[in-house]
Structure 1
Amino acid sequence: MNSAYTEFAAVYDELMSDIPYDLYVELIDEAVHGLDGKKVLDVGCGTGLLSLMLTKAGAMVDGIDLSEEMLSVARKRASAHHQEITFKRQLMQEINEREIYDAAVIPIDALNYVTDPQEVFQTFKNIYHALKPNGHLLFDVHSTYKTDEIFMEGPFTFDNGRIAYIWETFEGEADHDVYSEIAFFVKQESGLYKRFDEAHHQRTMPVFAYVEMLEKAGFTIERIFADWEDEPPTEESERIFFQVRK
């Protein structure tokens, strides 16, 4: 059970404000030829921001996540916007629905928290069965360049006046494996800072390894691109996107 995203849930959206979730909405909308009335599974939904955006675009959305703290934020967000979204605490490798969804999405390197390759394959198989015929899966992962080179350039620091962190990274025992220890400092109304610590473990694989697993699970690869651009990955790409079809 991953201990990541506990108290972090309260500050997650602020720290992730530069993520272009609207582009993910566009990608899914294009893949399914219009979101209106389509059923979408948001895997690793976090605080539900993408789920809400997909719902407002006309989709019917279910979201799953491992963190109950994240899901609590997601439920409050949906309620505040008067949207009906079903959120459930579940491991992505334990999805067990059958031919329900027009599309599934695993956004913002959530798949990299599944660090056992066999469980990654199990996730693909389960999502394949959860999709309707011709249903689509879209997801992104860290590149091996990012885990092996960029992450190893730490420690990283951040301070916006309200939230600060010190993020240390360590090479794992497996290939393309990274451990992160992050100390957060969040300013309180009193002016004092509250500290909390997070531990994260992520692992990625080369593009060809994902392709082999996806095809073995039954998917057809439609396109692979990088860094939010409609361009093929390069040796220094950081985020790899996959769009595949059942």
Structure 2
Amino acid sequence: MNYGEFAYIYDFLMRDVPYDKWLEFFFEKLKKYDVHGKKVMDLACGTGELSVRLAKTGFQVTGVDLSDDMLMVASEKASKEGLHLNLFQQNMCELEELGLYDVILVFCDSLNYLSSPKEVQETFKRIYSHLNEKGLFLFDVHTIYKMEQIFSNQTFTEIEDGVSYIWNSFEGEHPYSVEHELTFFVLDDHTDQYTRFDELHKQRTYKETDYTSWLEMAGFEILEVTADFSTLKPNDTSERIFFVCRKK
């Protein structure tokens, strides 16, 4: 999927996303599992918001994303902060030849953009091959509850001076999947007119037992499975599941 123009308003749309909570989760797990290495891969890094924050704290960060547009924004953001990020355009299920890392993270439900069980399984294998011995793999995914009860057949809107959008979500073609139809109206500062563009985003999730099975098949030791930035186990109304895994 190419985010195109979406990349340039992504940070505006994500301004209320709890990046600080993901960072807190990251640091807690490094401390808990005694990881001292500084090499981190931020997989599906988007516009580099987490990558930049990690680099500011002294980590050697490699950002990987499918979208060149997202990576351009990430590069600009890092440059403004006087930081260096290694940035690569790759599909996460075709990840290759990027070296070894102490931690690989895939946050903000990015794994839900993979379209099939095969792609998820292949991604887990590729991540495993890029980790140092006892390296950590941290990620989160949407729950089935969120797909079916919160996203499916819902409409979300927002009107701002510079950007407005209509976001329609409906049931996808696969079990536990949704399709997001997004229509944006973005103000052009040069013409003082709004430009419309449209995006279609597809997300899919699976049962918790499927994820754990695929992780074990890839060789991971599953250290924790929790929900919604807490230490609690997922329940029937959890919206986001977090996995902490270690390379054996």
- TM-score, normalised to structure 1, is 0.93
Partner SS state of residue 19, structure 1: coil
Over the matched positions of the two proteins, sequence identity in percent amounts to 45
After TM superposition, the runs of 4+ consecutive aligned structure 1 residues lying more than 4 A away are 34-37
In structure 1, the partner of 2:19 is: 21
**Cα distance, 1:25 vs structure 2:** 2.1
The C-alpha deviation readout for 1:192-215, integer Å capped at 9, x for no partner, is: 322111111111111111011111
Counterparts of 1:98 and 1:69 in 2: how far apart (Å)? 20
2: CA distance between counterparts of 1:219 and 1:55?
26
Q: Tell me the CA shift for residue 228 of structure 1.
A: 1.9
Q: CA deviation at 1:17?
A: 1.1
Local SS of the residue matching 1:32: helix
Q: Which residue of 1 aligns with 2:43?
A: 43
Give the AA of the match of 1:105.
L
Give me the whole-angstrom Cα distance separating, in 1, the residues matched to 2:150 and 2:19.
23
Unpaired runs of 5+ in structure 1?
A: none
C-alpha spacing 1:6/1:68, structure 2 compared with 1 (3 Å): same
The equivalent residue for 1:194 is 195
- 2: CA distance between counterparts of 1:26 and 1:168? 32
When structure 1 is superposed on structure 2, of 153-162 and 200-209 the one drifting more is: 153-162
**How far apart are 1:148 and its partner, in Å?**
1.5
**In 2, Cα distance between the equivalents of 1:97 and 1:41?**
13
Unaligned runs of 5+ in 2: none
3-state SS of the aligned residue for 2:151?
helix
Query: Which shows bigger deviation, 223-232 or 34-43?
Result: 34-43
Rounded Cα–Cα distance in structure 1 between residues aligned with 2:51 and 2:187: 29
Provide the C-alpha distance between the structure 2 equivalents of 1:187 and 1:36, rounded to a whole number of angstroms.
46
Matched, 1:147 2:151: no
What residue number does 1:236 align with? 237
Aligned equivalent of 1:175: 175
Residues 104-157 of structure 1, C-alpha deviation per residue, up to 9 Å, x if partnerless?
A: 000101111111111101101111111001100111111111111211141221
Q: 2:6 maps to which residue?
A: 8
- Structure 1 stretch 26-35 or stretch 109-118: which is displaced more? 26-35
Post-superposition offset of 1:161: 3.0
Shift of 1:238: 1.1
Q: Deviations over 1:37-70 (max 9, x none)?
A: 5100000000001000111111100011011111
The letter of the residue matching 1:7 is E
**Aligned-pair Cα RMSD in Å:** 1.7
The answer on 1:84 being equivalent to 2:84 is yes
Partner SS state of residue 61, structure 2? strand
Taking the aligned partners of 2:94 and 2:225, their CA distance within structure 1 comes to 25
Match of 1:123 in 2: 123
1:171 and 1:179 in contact (8 A); partners too: yes
Cα gap change, 1:218 to 1:98, in 2 (>3 Å): farther
Q: Which has the higher mean CA deviation after the structures are superposed, 65-74 or 23-32?
A: 23-32
Aligned to 1:51, the other structure's residue is in SS state helix
The DSSP-based 3-state class of the residue aligned with 2:152 is: helix
Distance 2:154 2:42 in 1: 31
Question: CA separation in 2, counterparts of 1:140 and 1:110?
Answer: 8
The verdict on how the C-alpha distance between 1:219 and 1:79 changes in structure 2, with shifts beyond 3 A counting, is same
Q: How many Å separate the matches in 1 of 2:135 and 2:30?
A: 8
Q: How many Å apart are 1:191 and its aligned residue?
A: 4.1
Output aligned runs, 1:44-59, within 5 Å: 44-59=44-59
